[in-house]
Structure formats: C-alpha cells, structure tokens
Chain A
Amino acid sequence: MGVHSIANVCSHLQNAARARLGLTSLPNNKYNLALALALHRAGFLSSVTRAGPHPPPQDQLLSFEPEPVTSANVATRRLWVGLKYWDNKPVLKSLKAISKPSRSLRASVAELNQVARGFEAAHLKGLNLGECMFVSTDRGVLEVREALERKVGGIVLCRVS
C-alpha cells in the first residue's frame, strides 16, 4: 500500500463533506487508519470505527466493540469515519493530496518548520490560517506541528482546511 490509497481517501472525504454526509467509509488498511486517526486527533473527524460492510450502529460509534479481524473477515472490513459540521458548514472543507503515486514529496524538519510558519519551502506553500498538513513519518502519520514537536520529517501526504 502506498500513497495512492491516501490520495483516494482525500478525494473521498472532501466529496463526502461537500455532500453533507454524516458517516462514510474508507478502505481498511494501515495507512488509511493512520491518516484517519491523525485527522481525528486534529479534530476534523468525529469518530473512526472499524466495522463490516454495513455501518456500525450510530449510537455506539464511540463505544463500538468491533469483532476481531481475522483472515476470514479482513477483506470485508471498512473504516467508518464520522464527519463534523459546525454552523451549517463542514469542518473539513477541503482536503488536497500532495504526494501522489507519480510524485511523492518529502520535507525535512527545517522545511516543515518554514511551511508551518506560513512560508514557502520545498515546493510547498505556507500554511494558511487554520490549515493543517499531514506528514507520514517513521513515527506514523502526524500533523505537521506534531512532527515538528518530535523533530521528524517525512512524506507530505495532504493539506486540510
């Protein structure tokens, strides 16, 4: 699994938010899960749940006990993510993939430092007000500020606002 699934997730989540969906599902893989959890940490998603082809009960989204993943059911697992809306507008307005399968883009700590401060670096435009960027590092998928805290760089996945 490479960044292509991440690019698909980006488009899908943006489309889902614009279509005002409350709950949507992503293919279940480690990369998607890591990104979904990073988005959840950053406050863009209300819930991340692994379940089967049908959505988990909505009243148990946060307390849902998923059945253990086995080799028999792993192919049918999906990641069900809840989208957030505030003031009649989606919290996750735009989600743009940066690294693509044809061109992955890496950024060092220094470059991320510049970008996080709003300046251009490493072919990346500076972050705008309220914008977030997600980086795939050897410590997992992190928001750019988390990566700077840990002083790690990596593959720049997407920018979210």
Chain B
Amino acid sequence: MSAARPAARSLISRRMTSASVTAPLSSSPSSRLAPSAPSTCHHFHSSAQMAVRRRPRFRNIPAEEMGLVTDQKIDKWAAKKFPKYTPEEMQELSKNYSPEQIAALEAGEASIDPRDLTIQGRLRTDSYRMPYIDDFADIQPIIDKRPKRQPPPDPMARFMNLDEFTEDLIQWSQDLKKGEKTGTLKRLEEFVPNKYKKAPESEWPAEVKAEAVAKFSSYIEGEAFKEKLSTTDRSDGPSDSDVLEYILERSSMTDNNLKSNSFMAPALPNKVPGVAGLYKNAVDPEDRGLDEEGVYQDLKKRTGMTLDQILKITVKTVVTRYVTNQTRLGKIQTCNIIALAGNRDGWLGLGVASSVEFQIAKRKAELLAIQNMQPIRRYEDRTIYGNVEAKISGTVVRLNARPPGFGLRVSHRIFEMCRAAGIKDLAATIPRSRNPMNTVKAVFEALKNQPDPEEIAIGRGKKLVDVRKVYYGGQVY
C-alpha cells in the first residue's frame, strides 16, 4: 500500500500538470502547428509513443481541391441521376393514378432534395444494415411472409346436400352456357305445394321436401333423357375438361366456392353423409373371417405367413413396465411391453413396444415379436450348444446345456422363452442384476450367440465329433 501510493500520486500529478500546460498553449494559433508534446493520455499498448501524428509519405489530394465536388458538380450529377418527372411522364402517371395520388406523388418528390440524395443517399455498409437491399415493393418468398389475399375459410361451411348440390350444378351449367337450355329448367321450389313456395328451403317439412326432391330429380332425369333423344350432336354440351374443372375446382362445400389461403383440403366431417358406416378394413377371404379387424394383414405381407400359421404361434407378454412422464399437462403414463413369440420348435422372436394404451402396446409388441422371429439353434432339439453368457447393461445371463430329462430349471421369464423356442433342458443363472427387460433381452442374445461346432471345425481346420451317442452302442436318450 505504501509502495503503491507515491507512484499513483505522481501519475496523477503528471497528468494534471500536462493538462494545465497544454491548455494555454492550445489557445494560441501558433501552437496548433507546432508538434505537441507527447500526450500523457492512456495507451493501450506498450510500444514507444510517436512524437507527432503519422503523416503519409505521399500526400493525398482531397477531391474538393481538384474541383470534383464543387456545388456545380454536385447539382449537375443530382440533376442527371435524380431528374424531375417530365410532363409526358406526369401525363402517363395520371392515367394510372387519381389526382389525389398524383398530388401525393408531387408532394413526396418536392419533399426530398436531389442534392440531399446525392450527398447523403448511401447504401449502408455498417454492420446494422438490413441484410438485403429492398424497398419492400416485391414479396420475397424466403424472407417475407406469404401474403394472405383470401379471407379466412368459412368455419360454418359444410358439405352440400343433394338439393344444394343440384342447385350448384345448375348454377354452374347456367354460368357455363348462360342459360341456353338449363336456364329454362324448373327449380326445386316449383315442385313444392304453393304454401311453401315463399318459405325458405330450411322451413319445409321433411316429407314435403323429400317428395319435392324426388319429383325434381325425376324431372331432371327426364329432361336429360329428352335432351339426349333430341340431339344427336353432343358438341354443345359441356366438354370433358369443363366437367373436370367442375369436379376439381369447384368447392363441394356450402362456402360459395370461396378461395382460401390454405393449401389443405377442408377436413372431412366425422360422418360423411352417405359414406358413414361404409368404411371397412380390407378383409382377406382366405382368413375365413378370423381377422375381421385387419390386425394381421400387415404382418401377413411382411412375413409371408398365412393367418393360420400366425395364429398357431405362441405369443406371450413377458415384461410389462409403466413409465410416468411428468409434463406441464400432468402425468403421462406409458406402458412398455416385451412380448415373445415362438413356434415351440426352434423359432423365437422378441417384440418391444410402448404406448400410452396398454392394449395397443401389447398388440404392437406381439406383432413385432412375430415379425422378429428367427431360428434358435438347439442341440438335439432339446437344449443349447454348450454354455453361453450374454450381458445387457448390468444383467448377465448364463445358460448351460443340460442332459435329457433335466427340464427347465430356470426363472419364469426364461422358462417362457425356452418353452416358446422349444428348448426342454436348460439351466440358467442370473448372477448380477435381474432387471426383467434386460434379462429377457440378454437371454435372447445368448440364445442367438451359441457356439457352432461346424463353424469352429471349419475355422480350426479340425474334425470335431459329437461322441455323446457313440458309447453304449448309441443307446442314449
């Protein structure tokens, strides 16, 4: 502290003395030209200070001195670059704009001096400039939002009923032909009793309306038939392209053919009248009604199995786990399921699926299990080859081959797997973690990774012989 003080004080005093010395000097005009004393203001580098301001070795000449930026030159350039509207141009503009707009244009022109534009009108080069040069007259699809020229779609719009559709069709054909033949056709209103003729269609009683519609449609059909009989030349009717245009471009909803900004087709209502209840899954007649819901159709295509073969497969859910995710919207519980599938004769598959719905998860897992079935090698079709070990996460599973009649001395999930795969003699230990999911996965891995005597023999170039049935005259098992 005591060491730092004198230095700090001397620095401050030096600074103050230099300020006091330079201040009177700067007031005299001669001192401006004289090289000033080394400044004592802060430097942010350690290199030696320059005595005077650096001057370039070759003197540059300002443009003003060369007469390039004189007032006359500026005005000349401005007049050339930003000319006023000529009378012809004004006449041309007055065709497109109203007198008020022309007045606004002239006011705008008058408010900006071309000289200012010449001197100040610069393209910005600073780092805060717009990333593009634009007067915002054009819409750039990448930068700008798409303009919404159409009004929002009618939320109350619904699909037209038969009458509305007929009316719409007649309207279209009238527009098409401007009422040559269709203009003379009767309307639906003409088929109702007189007392309803003035009332709007929605107030007609149901039976009256149905009767009128029936009469109207038969009348239309009759007219069409008459037309067909009377004219052999069909060239005056709507062409195919007209009809296609009608189908593709005319709205089938009661929104007066309103255009929308949305590229999406309007959503179908829950029950489309006339189609409700007619949706059905593709049912294969080969299934003989065993798969009405169409659950196995996709699986049949994937595996190439028939439904009978699929239904014969042993499917069992071995692991069920519920996982709960806490979200803003509450706890969301998901069900994770491992199902296994096997034909009890050397094929085994695992399916892992999860869903919020237990039943969906189960079905998904079972279908996946059937799809994932693969052959498991079995020694004498009853046990495995040698001893196998597999590890999934912290779960280690050791499977040991056992003699005939030993049975399945394994835990229950491994038991189910062995039964589905057709393994009858096995011992298993799970020395470490016994997590159900990992146990099942590890057993499947172990069963897939059994040593293969044939492969070993080929690899080593040795002959390997199974001697189990060599002794006792082969009288074993």
Known: A42-B462, A43-B461, A43-B462. A128 touches B456 (CB 8 A): no
Known: A129-B453, A130-B386. A86 touches B462 (CB 8 A): no
Min CB distance, A115 to chain B, in Å? Answer: 14
Known: A84-B459, A91-B459. A130 touches B387 (CB 8 A): no
Decide if A67 is an interface residue (CB 8 Å cutoff): no
User: Ordered nearest first, which 10 A-B pairs have the shortest CB separation?
Assistant: A43-B460, A129-B386, A86-B459, A91-B459, A130-B456, A43-B462, A128-B386, A43-B461, A129-B451, A128-B387
| A43, A44, A86, A129 pick with most chain B CB within 10 angstroms | A129
> Knowing that A44-B460, A129-B386 are A-B contacts, what are 18 other residue pairs whose CB atoms are under 8 Å apart, sorted by A's residue number?
A42-B460, A42-B462, A84-B459, A84-B460, A86-B459, A87-B455, A87-B459, A91-B459, A91-B460, A128-B386, A128-B451, A129-B387, A129-B453, A129-B456, A130-B451, A130-B453, A130-B464, A161-B451
In angstroms, Cα B464 to Cα A84, docked, is 18
Across the interface, name the chain B residue whose C-beta is closest to A129. Answer: B386
In the bound complex, residues from chain A placing their C-beta under 8 Å from that of B462 are: 42-43
| B386 pairs with A43, CB closer than 8 A | no
In angstroms, Cα B457 to Cα A84, docked, is 13
Interface of chain B: mostly helix, strand, loop or mixed: mixed
Min CB distance, A45 to chain B, in Å? Answer: 10
In the bound complex, residues from chain A placing their C-beta under 8 Å from that of B216 are: none
In angstroms, Cα B386 to Cα A128, docked, is 6
In the bound complex, residues from chain B placing their C-beta under 8 Å from that of A89 are: 459
Give the B interface residue count (CB, 8 A).
14
Known: A42-B462, A43-B462, A91-B460. A86 touches B455 (CB 8 A): yes
In the bound complex, residues from chain B placing their C-beta under 8 Å from that of A128 are: 386-387, 451
Decide if B444 is an interface residue (CB 8 Å cutoff): no
Decide if B247 is an interface residue (CB 8 Å cutoff): no
0/1 interface trace, chain A 122-138, chain B, CB 8 Å (1 if under): 00000011100000000
In angstroms, Cα B462 to Cα A84, docked, is 13
In the bound complex, residues from chain A placing their C-beta under 8 Å from that of B456 are: 129-130
> Can you list 27 A-B contacts (CB < 8 A)?
A42-B460, A42-B462, A43-B459, A43-B461, A43-B462, A44-B460, A84-B459, A84-B460, A86-B458, A86-B459, A87-B455, A87-B459, A89-B459, A91-B459, A128-B386, A128-B451, A129-B385, A129-B386, A129-B387, A129-B401, A129-B451, A129-B453, A129-B456, A130-B451, A130-B453, A130-B456, A130-B464
In the bound complex, residues from chain A placing their C-beta under 8 Å from that of B453 are: 129-130
Give the A interface residue count (CB, 8 A).
12
Min CB distance, B472 to chain A, in Å? Answer: 16
Across the interface, name the chain A residue whose C-beta is closest to B460. Answer: A43
0/1 interface trace, chain B 438-467, chain A, CB 8 Å (1 if under): 000000000000010101101111101000
In angstroms, Cα B456 to Cα A128, docked, is 12
In angstroms, Cα B401 to Cα A130, docked, is 14
Show the binding face of B for A, using Cβ within 8 Å.
385-387, 401, 451, 453, 455-456, 458-462, 464
In the bound complex, residues from chain A placing their C-beta under 8 Å from that of B387 are: 128-129
Across the interface, name the chain A residue whose C-beta is closest to B400. Answer: A128
Min CB distance, A51 to chain B, in Å? Answer: 23
- Residues 29-88 of A contacting B (Cβ, < 8 Å): 42-44, 84, 86-87
Min CB distance, B461 to chain A, in Å? Answer: 5
In angstroms, Cα B462 to Cα A42, docked, is 8
Min CB distance, A132 to chain B, in Å? Answer: 9
In the bound complex, residues from chain A placing their C-beta under 8 Å from that of B385 are: 129
In the bound complex, residues from chain B placing their C-beta under 8 Å from that of A129 are: 385-387, 401, 451, 453, 456
In angstroms, Cα B177 to Cα A36, docked, is 100
In angstroms, Cα B459 to Cα A137, docked, is 27
In angstroms, Cα B385 to Cα A5, docked, is 34
Across the interface, name the chain B residue whose C-beta is closest to A41. Answer: B462
Min CB distance, B205 to chain A, in Å? Answer: 82
In angstroms, Cα B316 to Cα A128, docked, is 32
| B385, B453, B458, B460 pick with most chain A CB within 10 angstroms | B460
In angstroms, Cα B433 to Cα A155, docked, is 36
- Residues 8-47 of A contacting B (Cβ, < 8 Å): 42-44
In the bound complex, residues from chain B placing their C-beta under 8 Å from that of A130 are: 386, 451, 453, 456, 464
In angstroms, Cα B451 to Cα A43, docked, is 17
In angstroms, Cα B463 to Cα A68, docked, is 35
In angstroms, Cα B451 to Cα A130, docked, is 8
Across the interface, name the chain A residue whose C-beta is closest to B386. Answer: A129
In the bound complex, residues from chain A placing their C-beta under 8 Å from that of B455 are: 86-87
In angstroms, Cα B386 to Cα A43, docked, is 20
Min CB distance, A91 to chain B, in Å? Answer: 4
Min CB distance, B465 to chain A, in Å? Answer: 12
In angstroms, Cα B452 to Cα A128, docked, is 12
In the bound complex, residues from chain B placing their C-beta under 8 Å from that of A87 are: 455, 459
In angstroms, Cα B243 to Cα A76, docked, is 95
